[in-house]
Structure 1
Amino acid sequence: MKESFKTEFYSLLKTILIALVLAFIIKNFIFTFAYVKGISMEPTLSEKDVLFSFVPKKYLNLNRSDIVIVKSPIEENKNYIKRVIGLPGDEIKIQNGSVYVNDKLLEENYTSNDYTEALNATYTLLEGNEYFIMGDNRNPGGSIDSRTFGPIKKSAIKSVVTFRILPFSKIERLGVK
């Protein structure tokens, strides 16, 4: 009887370890879920929304207006959900409340208002692996983003949000609109 218990215990332990390894691989290399905390992406995303994000997309070419999950450059063990505004090589200017990318006015139909404060980022030239990200909430104090901490490196991008899955009344594909 002891031998049978030992065999079952090791079989169960092996199953649990395989499940944990698979969960780790899926979460870090295939897809993950994110929970929205805060108001920085309003009106697009709201507090407590649950998002589905695709990890391999971060290794491909990101697009302007993709919503990404990034490792915070200023807060330990925290992630931010932001929108990609500038791509590598882009020139970003914020003048008179408007955002310009490569001297063209950026049409932003997803923001909380028509005025964007420059904060510390009136002009930014992005290097080969840098991205400029901002929250959709452009009200004063509405978002901590590249206007505050500067561009982020591609390595800080953890995944690209593809769907809002909760609440059910707001299920939709996110990103380029």
Structure 2
Amino acid sequence: MSESMKNEIISWIKLIATAFLIAFVLKTFVFQIAYVKGPSMEPTLYQGQILIVSKLSYRMGAPKREDIVVINDNLEHKDLIKRVIGLPKEEIDIKDSSVYIDGKLLEESYIEVPTYENDFSKAIAPDNKYFVLGDNRVESRDSRSDSLGFVDRKNIIGKAVFRLWPLNKAGTIK
């Protein structure tokens, strides 16, 4: 094998290794792809939609109310997509089919169905924990459920920022 052939092979190996390293760093620290499974975020997100999730958003700041986030669900070992409703140290109450934060009614233009308690009792979100709900409150396993409850900050993977698919719905997510 000639010297130039060896140099060409080494060059290709370096290029491929660099590409894998960049892809690993991007997926680990910058963004990931999420797939919407189930009806819990309707009418905002629907089954089969593909989203880009920013992991950087929460490396530089905390989740905000109404952010759509991807959560690592340790119980079912899968990712969930939910909306942040209550922040740490806030009092969350559900009464008269509505959500109240620190005693004030939360105006939610993104939901079409009432919010039922589902055995949730008024509570204050602990430090570093968030209260999350699906937009389709009838079909959502969320913080009202004992199996999920308040979500620890470390289990929030990132913020859903862009819808890739379907193409006719591509764009930023609100």
CA pair 15-143 structure 1, distance change in 2 beyond 3 A: same
Deviation at 1:168, TM superposition (A): 1.9
Aligned pair 1:145/2:146, yes or no?
no
Paired letter, 2:157:
K
1:98/1:116 contact within 8 Å kept: yes
Alignment of 1:117-156 (within 5 A): 117-139=116-138, 142-148=139-145, 149-156=148-155
Q: Which residue of 2 aligns with 1:97?
A: 97
Q: Is the contact made by 1:32 and 1:52 (CA closer than 8 Å) also made in structure 2?
A: yes
The letter for the 2-side match of 1:83 is: R
Query: Unpaired runs of 5+ in structure 2?
Result: none
| 1:169 corresponds to | 168
User: What TM-score comes out, normalization by structure 2 length?
Assistant: 0.89
- CA shift, 1:104, in A, is 0.8
- Paired residues in the alignment total 171
RMSD: 1.7
Judge which range, 166-175 or 124-133, deviates more. 166-175
1:84 counterpart residue number: 84
Within 2, Cα distance between the matches of 1:108 and 1:25?
36
Name the SS for the 1:146 alignment partner.
coil
Secondary structure, counterpart of 1:56 in structure 2: coil
After superposition, residues 1-177 of structure 1 pair within 5 angstroms as: 1=1, 6-59=6-59, 60-76=61-77, 78-113=78-113, 115-139=114-138, 142-148=139-145, 149-175=148-174
Q: Secondary structure at the match of 2:58?
A: helix
Q: CA deviation at 1:152?
A: 0.7
Kept in 2: contact 1:38–1:47 (CA 8 A): yes
Rounded Cα–Cα distance in structure 2 between residues aligned with 1:33 and 1:123: 34
**TM-score normalized by structure 1?**
0.88
Change (3 A) 1:12 1:68: same
The alignment partner of 1:74 has SS state of coil
Distance 1:14 1:159 in 2: 31
Q: Percent identity?
A: 41
Gaps of 5+ in 1: none
Q: 8 Å contact 1:58–1:159 — kept in the other structure?
A: yes
Q: Is the 8 A contact 1:73 1:152 kept in 2?
A: no
